[in-house]
Structure formats: structure tokens, C-alpha cells
Structure 1
């Protein structure tokens, strides 16, 4: 295990921030995190975080995954002092960081997220991982399931994932898996593109609209200018930013502000 002191990092806030669906609080008070085919447990006491993995794995993967090298305090300090709403949202959600997640996993996950709630999304993803993902063993001896590769889903019938409670979203995931395995969609190519071009390519995939494309850009490609607008964000913008959100002020990290607003609306408001 490895222990780090980190400002602006709160594993519980990240867990319920709506950007990841395979992180959960365990009975022992730690948090289990599955990313692709990797697994780690994290415990936190104030700014002291313990990652139950080796130092080499932490440096090779988990440091970047949790975006620990980025200065989120600077983002918060840059908020307009006159914007009381955003300053409060950032204060409440100051431990949120934008995770660097796998592009395929986020594409499938946010296809599943449409017209869905977080609890149900987690269950749907858990179902497809247990049915189609590779069974693996953590260092602790516990078992978990890797996120299924596109090849594992591409040969399914379009309605087969309804058995995993995906409903009409089944065809979205299956058709996208087929596009990737056939070469029609090239994830490596999408990763190489700047934000606007990457979003345009994602919009070509079946079932992906503006909000989902922006979620994938923000949470998988780490394009921090992506600003997904769902119902909660739309309502917050109408209440607090009648002339529009000041995106120009936060150029380069608008998505961080979006996460503060999203978390505040769902979890942090008194």
C-alpha cells in the first residue's frame, strides 16, 4: 500500500459525483474502485489517503487515473468572487477530481446512463460485467469482474443486454461495440483528436447525443473544456446564469466547474 497527503481530494465526493459507476463504499469504510480490468481500494482520513496497491502500480496507473498531479486548488481560486453560487458549489465539492477513465468503458457506460439514475446505472454495469467480463482476483483475495471488451458484446443480439436490465439501451451498446470491432469507429484515432473533432466522431456512434458525447470527452478523454448539460445542469443554469454560463472565464477547465455544479445540485445543496 501507499499513503499520500493530497489537497482537494475526497474519495466519497468522487464516488457520488456521477462520473464513475464502478466505485463504491465497502462495509469496512474503504472504497473499492474498478477501472477496466484493474482494482484498488482507497481509505481516507482528512487529507491522508491510502491506496492499497504497490508503489509501482500507483505511479504507473492510479496517480493519473485520479488526476492527482493537477492543481484543483488553482481552479477554485480562479472563480469569480462575485459568483456566490459557483463559489459555494466549489466549496461544497472541493474534493472532486476529473478521473482519467477508459474510452470504451465510458462510451458504453454513458450510453447506459441515458434516461437513467445513478443507482440503476451502477446495477446495469455490474450486471454486464458479471455476465460478459473476465473474472479476476484482487490482492486482497476478493474477486471482481473486468469491464467487458467490445469483442465480448459485438456478437450479441441487439436485445440481449435487456437481460442485464439495459432496456432499449441494449441496442446502443451492442451496435457501438460492433462499430468498434469492425473498425468503423477507431478509438485510438478518437483519442488523438482535439476536443471538437473527438466529440464530432463520437456523435457518429449510434445512440450518442450532445450530452453523452461531452460526458465521454470529459471523463474518458480528459477534455476539461467539455461541459455536459443534462436536466440538472440546465435547470441550474436557468436559475443562476440567465445570460449564459461564463465559459470564456474558465477556458481550459470548464468541465471542472460543471462537476462542482452537478455535485452541488445532486448531493451538496443544504
Structure 2
């Protein structure tokens, strides 16, 4: 379904308040695609949303699929896109990127209470917590179990491709919106997802979709959200209800999510943070635990392993440091620690020929000649997060193998 290019609009936004190149790559959302022209696109709420950014503006445009009732079948490839009478794309962009809080002030607040944040955060400004649909966050983070960002993105794209509504194409690449719970509740979904490579997550997705579609309902999921951060298009609750028992409401939301298939404490906190607006939720995995150990000297005694008690203690540590936006501040440090956003040192081995003299023992004849000497230089390059540990090991192993070969040739 080819779409006609829509008009670009711009929204004044500094890179310190929002950096989309960082925010969209740090493991919050898994459906954005980036083109060679630094344009990000995703199907969202019935439209194809595209974004670009410069130092002063977010540039955005929304392209809608043709109105089926007004077009012949099949529709012509140059059919105009039909937007609703009142286009709400600006409101959607502001909501999705959570643009109301002043991020500069929040960074200053977190830095004032934490020297480690003050040290690491200045290179990673503009990271905002997205306000995604709770259902998409739920399924996306079920896919995240024992997984990396690249594979999670592939799984989520497959879900959309096979079960989500087609919105349109960009350069012959189809963009599908996220599938509904009903679409993922069919009797053959689990088997199909297994064939697509979802592994044990196929069962979790199918069962959770049935629970939400047939038993609990989408309203149940939406009602777990922070009343200060409702889902897009959902009416905010009266101000008097907003702050009442906030911490308890977050804990209740977390506990209710644990009843779903494939949802453990970390996935539940990811859904709370990225889909339900509970910014105090702190998802703790081995990566975050390592940050707590390395930078906060956390992990001795009873917290020397990542148990349920340790999980809770790390969350409480960060909530004590950063308050009700602890999950947001934690995400900045999490991103700063991802290898995709930091330079890594790669050993570059160079072989040079040098004249050397090797004297053997017991006054044997002196061996004179030319051998090749290894020189190691270090070069800083970018590394993708899903390849980080694997590549580091490979580089070290290859360097060691070359060193051994060169030493063997020199002694021969």
C-alpha cells in the first residue's frame, strides 16, 4: 500500500530535552526503523509517523492509509492519504515522547543527589521515557526475556507483519501497526510463532493475549496506569485521585502484571515504566545489578547474588536516590552503559619487520636475521549492544592467537 508523502511539520525541541537517536535506540521500543537519511518511522495509532531532528526542531509527519470506502478495489498506488478531520498527530508526538516534564531540571535534580549520575549523564542528555501503549509494552517485553535488542526488534516486527494491520509502505518496506490482543488469541498463534523462532515466548504471548482479550480486558490493563500518565486518548482522572497512594498503586499494578504468562518482576517493571507511566519502577537485570555493584558498591553479604530480595533492594536504593522518577534516571545510566553508545577499544595488530640478533646458549653460533615483530595499536570504534560481549571476547582471542603464532616463528 504505497503512501503519498505528507507535509512535514516542526516542533521546537532542543537536543538536551529530547534526543531521538538515543531515546529510540536504548531498548524502550522495538518498532522504529531508521532510514539512510536519518529519518525514523513507525506505524502508530493508525498512521505512519516519521521523524527527523536537528539542533532546534523535531520534524514530524503523519501519513494515513487511503480511505477504503472512497476508493475502488484495488486502490491505485497514488491514492491520496486521508487523515481524520482533526489531525491529532502533534498531540500524539507530545504524548508519546512525554514532553511535558522539563528534562534539564530533572537531570540537575538527579545529579545533585548522586555523584555517579553527575559524572555519567552529561554525555547522554535528552533521554526521555516513552509513553507507549501498555499492550505493546507488555508483549514487547515478554519478547525481551533472555534476549538482545536486535532479536527483540525482529520478533516484534514479525508480530506486526503477520498479525497487525498494514498502514502503508516506505520504499517498498511495509509498516504494520501493533496487533490487538484478539489478533494474537487465535488457536494457531502459538504454533505459528514457534515456527517464526519465538521459542518458549510463543506460549507466553498466546496465553497472555487470550487472558487480556477474553478474561481481563484492555480496560483492566489501562486502569493499571499511573493516573498522571494515562494512555493516549484516555481521559485523565480527576486531580484529587492522582496522588492518592501512588506507591501502593504502583505496587498493585506490578503485582497484577505478575499473574500474566511470561511476566516476572523485571518484565512487570518494564511494562510499568515504559507502558503504564510509573516512572519509579526500576527494572533490574544482570546489567543493572552490575551497575549497582560497580558504581554504588552494592552487592556484598546477603545481596551477593541477584535474588528476589536483591532485586527489591536495588530498586529501593535507586528510589531513595532519585525519588519518584527513579526508573527514568536509572534508564539514563543504563543507556550510558550500553556499548552502542560508548567507544570501545579494539586491538589492531600490525606486523613490522625488524633486524634482530638472537644469541643461543652455550656459545652456539649467533643467529642473525629478520623476524616480524607484532605491534598492537588501539583504535576506538562503535559497537552494537547485541554484539558487545561476544565481539570483545573474539577480539581478545584473535589477538592472543596471533601473538602465539608470532612468538613461535621468532623462536624457530
What is the TM-score when the length of structure 2 is the normalising length?
0.61
Report the equivalent of 2:225: 191
Q: Tell me what 2:350 maps to.
A: none
Secondary structure of 2:319 counterpart: coil
For 2:161, the equivalent position in structure 1 comes to 130
Higher mean Cα deviation, 219-228 or 147-156?
Answer: 147-156
Structure 2 residues without counterparts, runs of 5 or longer? 1-7, 63-82, 228-248, 299-313, 344-412
Cα distance in structure 2, aligned partners of 1:142 and 1:49: 23
Contact (CA 8 Å) 2:185, 2:207: kept in 1 or not? yes
Distance verdict in 2 for CA 1:85–1:47, change over 3 Å:
farther
Q: State which of 186, 209, 227 in structure 2 corresponds to 1:177.
A: 209
SS state of the match for residue 52, structure 1? Answer: strand
The residue number in structure 2 matching 1:60 is 91
What SS does the corresponding residue of 1:181 show, helix, strand or coil? helix
- Cα contact 1:111–1:207 (8 A) shared by 2: yes
TM superposition shift of 1:188: 3.2
After superposition, what is the alpha-carbon deviation per residue over 1:129-167, rounded to whole angstroms, capped at 9, x for unaligned? 111111112799974111111111111343331122211
Seen in structure 2, the aligned counterparts of structure 1 residues 246 and 142 have a Cα distance that, compared at 3 Å, is closer
Greater share of strand residues, 1 or 2?
2
Q: Does 1:102 align with 2:133?
A: yes
Q: CA RMSD in A?
A: 2.3
Tell me whether 1:268 sits opposite 2:300 in the alignment.
Answer: no
TM-score, normalized by length of structure 1? 0.91
Task: Report the counterpart of residue 55 of structure 2 in structure 1.
Answer: 46
Please tell me whether Structure 1 or Structure 2 has the larger radius of gyration of its CA atoms. Answer: 2
Written as runs of structure 1 = structure 2, the 5 A alignment for 1:106-125 is: 106-125=137-156
Q: Deviations over 1:85-138 (max 9, x none)?
A: 312332222111111101111111000010000001111111111111111127
Larger relative contact order (C-alpha < 8 A, sep ≥ 6)? 1
User: Are the counterparts in 2 of residues 22 and 35 from structure 1 also a CA contact under 8 Å?
Assistant: no
Structure 1: unaligned runs, 5 residues or longer: none
Secondary structure of the residue aligned to 1:253 is helix
Matched residue, 2:13:
6
In 1, the alpha carbon distance for the partners of 2:135 and 2:223 equals 13
Could you list the per-position Cα deviations for residues 24-78 of structure 1 after superposition, in whole angstroms to 9, with x for gaps in the alignment? 2112221113335442111111232101139942333121111112211111011
> Closer, same or farther in 2 for the Cα pair 1:222/1:189, shift >3 Å?
closer
Greater CA deviation, 63-72 or 213-222? 63-72
The residue number in structure 1 matching 2:294 is 239
- Please give the per-residue CA displacement for 1:173-201, whole angstroms capped at 9, x wherever unaligned: 00000101112363233237721111111
Correspondence list, 1:137-176, <5 A: 137=168, 143-157=174-188, 158-176=190-208
CA contact (8 A) 1:150 1:177 kept: yes
| d(CA) in 1 for partners of 2:27, 2:123 | 15
Q: 1:228 — aligned with what?
A: 283
Count of residue correspondences: 270
- Indicate whether 1:26 and 2:26 are aligned: no
Distance in structure 2 (CA, Å) of the matches to 1:146 and 1:116: 23
Residue 254 (structure 1) aligns with: 326
SS in 2 for 1:223: coil
| Kept in 2: contact 1:35–1:102 (CA 8 A) | no
Q: CA deviation at 1:82?
A: 7.3
State how far apart, in whole Å, the 2-side matches of 1:102 and 1:235 are.
30
Q: Which residue of 2 aligns with 1:203?
A: 258
**Alignment check: 8 A CA contact 2:318 2:330 kept:** no
SS in structure 2 at match of 1:155 = coil
Structure 1 counterpart SS, 2:23: helix
CA separation in 2, counterparts of 1:166 and 1:224?
29
Q: Distance in 1 between matches of 2:126 and 2:54?
A: 13
Supply the distance in 1 between the matched residues of 2:253 and 2:165 (Cα, whole angstroms).
29
